[in-house]
Amino acid sequence: MSQNHIETLVNNVKGVRDSNPNPSFGRDSHVHHVAPGCHPASARKIKTDKISKIATWNVVKEMERMNLNTLGLAEVRWTGAGSMKLGSKTLIYSGGPTHERGVGILFDVTMAKSLGSWCPISDRVVVAKLVAKPLNLGIIQVCTNI
């Protein structure tokens, strides 16, 4: 391979040149700690001779599948308090200063229109007031781990 040809194989990752096109050559390793005090070197190893079940849930899809109007969430793990739109759904949440604990309530379009007010009490409690007839409805989402 000629020197000119090697010069043209820049993969645009930090301008690193490689004689073979390799999309990941030159990338930094980014290690994220997923739990306080948990470092990859000290993490407990999974026994590969046993079966491990791993799954994910799309909460919005499950809410739609189960035809729910309101869904209480625990262990949201977001900091602070706020609200956001998730597609056609509205989420209110309350968390602490760290990415631990946290609660939330997910509303569909109809229930979100009835949301009169809400109050983040703590990283374990959020309260919502829905305007309804004949009486307003209060929803309290609480998470306790005992």
**pLDDT tens per residue across span 127-146:** 999 999 999 999 999 988 75
Instruction: Compute φ and ψ for 73, nearest 5 degrees.
Output: -120, 140
Q: What confidence score (pLDDT) does residue 57 get?
A: 82
Cβ atoms within 10 Å of 106's Cβ, excluding its own: 22
Among 76-80, 102-106, 114-118, 136-140, the least confident range: 76-80
Among 6-15, 30-39, 49-58, 137-146, the least confident range: 6-15
Q: Kindly list the distances between the CA atom of residue 29 and the CA atoms of 24, 25, 32, 118, 123, in Å, as whole numbers in the listed order.
A: 10, 11, 10, 42, 33
Q: What confidence score (pLDDT) does residue 37 get?
A: 58
Cβ atoms within 10 Å of 107's Cβ, excluding its own: 26
Residue 6 DSSP one-character state: H
Diameter of the chain measured on Cα atoms? 83
Q: What is the pTM of this model?
A: 0.63
Cβ partners under 8 Å of residue 111, min gap 6? 69, 70, 130
**pLDDT tens per residue across span 53-92:** 788 888 889 999 999 999 999 999 899 999 999 889 999 9
- Which residue reads 């625990």 in tokens? 74
Cβ partners under 8 Å of residue 110, min gap 6? 69
